[in-house]
Structure 1
Amino acid sequence: MRLNEQVVLVTGGSRGLGSETAKAFAREGAKVVINYFNSEAKALELKSLIGENAIAIQADVRDIEQVQAMFREAKAHFGKPITTVINNALVNFRFDPVTKKDASEISWEDFNVQLESAVRGSLNTIQAGLPGFKEAEFGRIINIGTNLFQNPVVAYHDYTTSKAALLGFTRNMANELGQYGITVNMVSGGLLKMTDASSATSAEVFQLIESSTPLRKVTDPSEVADAIIFFASPWGRAVTGQNLVVDGGLVMD
């Protein structure tokens, strides 16, 4: 299915990487569902920027009933079901190396918050979309990971562990759903400059990444968004179960 025939859900789509991803798909002619949880003003601003090919829908991806309702609303609005899901939502987390909890302070509840966001949220969107994917014999699922579980330059225990779990989830889903024409992949950026989540990151950390990266620059969200487009496009049709690291070469996997 060509990009301009797809209906694309971007969870956490109002800010940062989500916003750039929504704009990238709109640029290619896709219909875009901008999911948001708290950032209504930013979601509506982005919808206005994209125009008639976008709709903004509030839903907590951790709540299956809200996710199912979002899928129904998107189908009613565009006249066809969601074909493509970008699991990008990030709940209650900032990349702040100063205030992060260390090994003696981190709690299981901290881990659980991020697991609920990353893994449960992705499970909910896949299960809500599965009937439509199977009927169309087509589906594209791209989960957003991180290079931090391969190179934890800062020990964000809860976030990094949830994304490592999401890679296992991605590969299991890829194995099972491929028979229905559904691909499931992960795109893992590094620390991106600049998003709301990375705004607390010090200039020293960004400088360290920049000096350690072959391209000698910190990756920006639009560059990761273009890699996401690849997995949804016809050029990525034979690729599934993969984790593409988009960080300027800092992590070479």
Structure 2
Amino acid sequence: MNIRDQVVLITGAGRGLGAACAKAFAAEGARVIINYYQSQEKAEALAREIGEPAVALQADVRKKEELARLVQEGERHFGAPVSTAVHNALVDFRFDPEAQEDLEHVSWESFETQMEGSVKGALNVVQAVLPSMKKQEFGRLIMIGTNLVQHPVVPYHEYTSGKAALLGFTRNAAKELGPSGITVNMVSGGLLEKTDASSVTTPEVFDIIRQTTPLQRVTTPEEMADAVLFFSSPWSRAVTGQNLVVDGGLVMH
């Protein structure tokens, strides 16, 4: 299915990478459901900027019933089923190396928060869109991961653990859903310049990335969005269960 014929759900799309993905999909002619949790003003402004092909809808990805309602409202709004879902939502985390707690002090509750946002959120998204995708015998599920799993430049313990678990979820889902015509892949970025979540990252960390990355620069949200588009396009029709690292070559895998 071409991107222009699709209805795309993007979680956490009111700002940062999610907003870049929403703009990228809309530019290709897709209709976009902009999910937000707390960023109502930004999400609605983005929907107005994109215009008719976009609608902003609130839901907490950690709550199954809210995701189910959101999908129903989005499909009713566009008169068509969701065919691609991008799980991008980031719950209560910022990339602040100076504030990051070490293993001696980090709490299990912090791990639970990231596990819920990453894995429980992904499960809720998948379960909300599966009926539509199975009926179409087509679906594209795209999880947003991180290259910190392979290369922890900063030991963000709880965040990276949640994303590592999400990679396992991605591959299991790919195995189960393949016979239904549904692919499941992950796009893992490095630190992005800049988003709300990375706005507190110190210049020193960005400098380290530039110095050690083959492309000698920090990846942007728009460049990440390009890879997300690939996994929803016909060009990726034979690709599932994969983790594509988009970080300028910092991690080669």
TM-score (norm 2): 1.00
Within 5 A, what are the aligned runs for 1:213-232?
Answer: 213-232=213-232
What amino acid does structure 2 have at the position aligned with 1:203?
P
Query: Residue 5 of structure 1 aligns with which residue?
Result: 5
What amino acid does structure 1 have at the position aligned with 2:15?
R
Query: Residue 136 of structure 1 aligns with which residue?
Result: 136
1:204 paired with 2:204, answer yes
Q: Compute the displacement of 1:81 (Å).
A: 1.3
Query: Residue 234 of structure 1 aligns with which residue?
Result: 234
Q: Deviations over 1:148-184 (max 9, x none)?
A: 0100010000000000000000000000000000000
Of all paired residues, the percent bearing the same amino acid is 61
1:68 paired with 2:68, answer yes
Q: Compute the displacement of 1:236 (Å).
A: 0.5
Query: Residue 19 of structure 1 aligns with which residue?
Result: 19
Matched positions, count: 253
1:35 paired with 2:35, answer yes
What amino acid does structure 1 have at the position aligned with 2:249?
G
Query: Residue 244 of structure 1 aligns with which residue?
Result: 244
Query: Residue 100 of structure 1 aligns with which residue?
Result: 100
Q: Which runs of 5+ in 1 are unaligned?
A: none
SS in 1 for 2:89: coil
Within 5 A, what are the aligned runs for 1:155-234?
Answer: 155-234=155-234
Q: Compute the displacement of 1:79 (Å).
A: 0.4
Query: Residue 122 of structure 2 aligns with which residue?
Result: 122
Distance in 1, matches of 2:128 and 2:37, equals 18
Displaced runs of 4+ in structure 1, greater than 3 A? none
Distance in 2, matches of 1:202 and 1:122, equals 30
What amino acid does structure 2 have at the position aligned with 1:186?
M
SS in 1 for 2:20: helix
What amino acid does structure 1 have at the position aligned with 2:195?
T
Q: Compute the displacement of 1:108 (Å).
A: 1.0
SS in 1 for 2:169: helix
Q: Compute the displacement of 1:231 (Å).
A: 0.3
SS in 1 for 2:121: helix
Q: Deviations over 1:121-168 (max 9, x none)?
A: 010010111111010000000000000010001000000000000000
RMSD: 0.4
What amino acid does structure 1 have at the position aligned with 2:5?
E
Query: Residue 83 of structure 2 aligns with which residue?
Result: 83
TM-score (norm 1): 1.00
Q: Compute the displacement of 1:80 (Å).
A: 1.1
Q: Which runs of 5+ in 2 are unaligned?
A: none
Distance in 2, matches of 1:162 and 1:147, equals 13
Q: Compute the displacement of 1:107 (Å).
A: 1.1
